[in-house]
């Protein structure tokens, strides 16, 4: 399989990253590529999303394949010649590679592969925290394109190159964000007895929050709470009137989410009250858990094995999150990891997608279509 033109395209996308809902150049490239293949193209779904539909044979059955297109708001500290040309923006999660793998699959399916039915190529904006998948659903994605099942692939640096893994049930965690503001009056650092110490209360709260999962959840229930930001203070001789904490919670069940949110709110209120202060808590559940349907996860593993790829059941889910979860709430399907080692970790400032993965990703997408549209679904 000749993928040199796809490698060139991937590196061009890497050099020109675009944030969520602003992927105009990327979506233009995607739309043009699909149109050149004779694939029907639909734009403006979820703002900058693109959908291509390829029909072969007589069946009206449809399978969806999804790739994300957006970049991350961080500086590219890589050294490759195709590093980001946009300050403070880079493809540090491999969405440039995902986009190109799906375009390569569209090319193979349009020109070289027979099947009976329709393939819906879903190029999604704004995966990185802005819920582009939900935006596409809200714009009628599956009403307009009634996929029987939908699949997505994400490069995975923790796995050897080309090894695929998925699993029935949860594969990625729900992601919540919390922001806690500790409020008082502030005062002179040399007169702490005349005010309340917001920084002391905030520090104590950080320590207590790190005990919450271990003491609030059943030990057999996976969960994670991480404080990621602490802010407060302006001077060496002043106790500030406010201080704040930001962090994330990862869980796999709504019940666990409920417990953590309730206990977090209680802990913030009681710890700060003990210092004569008040806490304002904002808690946002922005992505649900990514939960594969059992039949489709098994179909995916069997399809990839028949295509000659190394594929196995993942031993456990990851505590990272993914807005493909919204699509899996609406349709059966599966989210797959595809090994990309050697590679920097995802979201590393010097990360660059491993181009050797492109043919593996194309073969994986094609294998899913071959199997799904060759027999009654699910297989």
Confidence of residue 187 (pLDDT cuts 50, 70, 90): confident
- SS3 state at 11: helix
Confidence of residue 194 (pLDDT cuts 50, 70, 90): confident
Does residue 32 surpass a pLDDT of 70? yes
Does residue 376 surpass a pLDDT of 60? no
pLDDT in tens, 205-218: 999 999 999 999 98
Query: Rounded to an integer, what distance in angstroms lies between the CA atom of residue 53 and that of residue 296?
Result: 21
Q: For residue 181, what is the enclosing H or E element?
A: strand 174-183
Pinpoint the alpha helices (H) of 210-253. Answer: 212-216
Q: What is the pLDDT of residue 207?
A: 96
Q: What Cα–Cα distance (Å) separates residue 223 from each residue in 107, 258, 356, 364?
A: 41, 12, 34, 31
Q: What is the pLDDT of residue 213?
A: 95
Does pTM surpass 0.85?
A: yes
Retrieve residue 124's tokens. 């999604």
What are the residue ranges spanned by the domains of the chain?
4-173+289-372, 177-287
The label of the residue with tokens 């599966």 reads: 334
Does residue 239 surpass a pLDDT of 60? yes
Percent of the chain with pLDDT over 90: 93
- Give the torsion through C-alpha atoms of 37, 41, 43, 49, to 10 deg: -60
Report, as an integer, the average pLDDT of 120-130.
96
Output the CATH code of domain 4-173+289-372: 3.40.630.10
Does residue 54 surpass a pLDDT of 90? yes
Q: What is the DSSP string of 291-329?
A: EE-HHHHHHHHHHHHHTT--EEE-SS-BS---THHHHHH
Which CATH architecture does the domain made up of 177-287 adopt? 2-Layer Sandwich (3.30)
Q: What is the pLDDT of residue 52?
A: 98
Q: What is the pLDDT of residue 374?
A: 78
Q: What is the pLDDT of residue 375?
A: 58
Does residue 28 surpass a pLDDT of 80? yes
> Does 177-287 match 4-173+289-372 at the fold level?
no
């Amino acid at each position: 399989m000749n993928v040199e033109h796809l490698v060139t395209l991937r590196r061009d996308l890497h050099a020109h990253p675009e944030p969520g809902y602003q992927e105009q150049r990327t979506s233009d490239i995607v739309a043009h590529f699909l149109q050149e293949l004779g694939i029907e193209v639909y734009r403006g779904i979820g703002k900058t999303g693109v959908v291509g539909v390829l029909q072969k044979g007589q069946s009206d059955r449809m399978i969806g394949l999804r790739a994300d297109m957006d970049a991350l708001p961080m500086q590219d500290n890589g050294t490759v010649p195709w590093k980001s040309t946009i300050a403070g923006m880079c493809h540090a999660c491999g969405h440039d590679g995902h986009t190109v793998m799906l375009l390569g699959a569209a090319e193979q399916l349009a020109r070289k592969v027979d099947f009976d039915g329709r393939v819906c190529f879903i190029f999604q904006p704004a995966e990185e925290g802005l819920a582009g998948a939900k935006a596409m659903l809200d714009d009628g994605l599956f009403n307009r394109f009634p996929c029987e099942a939908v699949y997505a692939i994400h490069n995975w640096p923790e796995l050897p190159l080309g090894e695929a893994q998925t699993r029935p049930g949860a594969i990625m965690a729900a992601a919540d964000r919390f922001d806690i503001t500790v409020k008082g009056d502030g005062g002179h650092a040399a007169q702490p007895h005349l005010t309340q110490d917001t920084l002391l209360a905030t520090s104590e709260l950080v320590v207590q929050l790190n005990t919450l999962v271990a003491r609030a959840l059943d030990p057999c229930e996976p969960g994670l709470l991480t404080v990621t930001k602490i802010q407060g203070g302006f001077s060496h001789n002043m106790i500030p009137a406010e201080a704040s904490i930001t962090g994330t919670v990862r869980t796999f069940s709504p019940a666990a989410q409920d417990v953590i949110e309730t206990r977090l709110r209680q802990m913030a209120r009681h710890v700060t009250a003990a210092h004569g202060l008040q806490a304002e808590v904002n808690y946002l559940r922005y992505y649900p858990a990514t939960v594969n349907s059992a039949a489709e996860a098994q179909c995916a593993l069997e399809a990839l094995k028949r295509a000659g790829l190394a594929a196995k059941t993942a031993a456990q889910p990851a505590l990272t999150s993914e807005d493909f979860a919204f699509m899996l709430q609406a349709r059966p399907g599966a989210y797959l990891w595809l090994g990309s080692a050697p590679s920097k970790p995802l979201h590393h400032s010097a990360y660059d997608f491993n181009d050797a993965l492109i043919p593996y990703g194309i073969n994986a997408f094609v294998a899913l279509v071959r199997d799904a549209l060759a027999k009654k679904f699910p297989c």
